[in-house]
Amino acid sequence: MKDLFRPFIGFREIKVVHKGSRRSGDKAMVLCFVEFVDEKCALTAMEALQGYKFDNKKPDSPVLRIQFAHFPFSLPSYHDEKPIRR
């Protein structure tokens, strides 16, 4: 993941958190917290990488979903996901 964000101006660091599934049958999640020097740099990376497909050869490959962190932190509901506007 670091290699995806590192080329962007203002990149500081990334923290990766592995979350187990909450219910039987759910998939585990990987959360990444990426820090940039300012919101403008973060927004540039976010716009460039939103929807990044990890494997173009697989139609069901996971895609990157990026949003600004909200505190207190809560996981997004992907069923009614809306674009984030700042």
Write down the pLDDT at residue 34: 95
User: How many Å apart are CA 13 and CA 71, to the nearest integer?
Assistant: 19
> Do the Cβ atoms of 51 and 59 come closer than 8 Å?
no
- Reference 49, options 71, 69, 34, 29; nearest CA is 34
Top CATH class of 2-80 equals alpha beta
| DSSP string for residues in 40-59 | HHHHHHHHHHTT-BS-TT-T
Q: Which tens digit of pLDDT belongs to each residue from 19-42? A: 887 777 777 788 899 999 999 999
The pLDDT tens digits of the residues spanning 8-20 come to 999 999 999 988 8
The encoded tokens of residue 54 equal: 């990890």
Q: In this predicted model, what pLDDT tens digit does every residue of 40-80 receive, in sequence order? A: 999 999 999 999 998 889 988 888 999 998 766 555 555 44
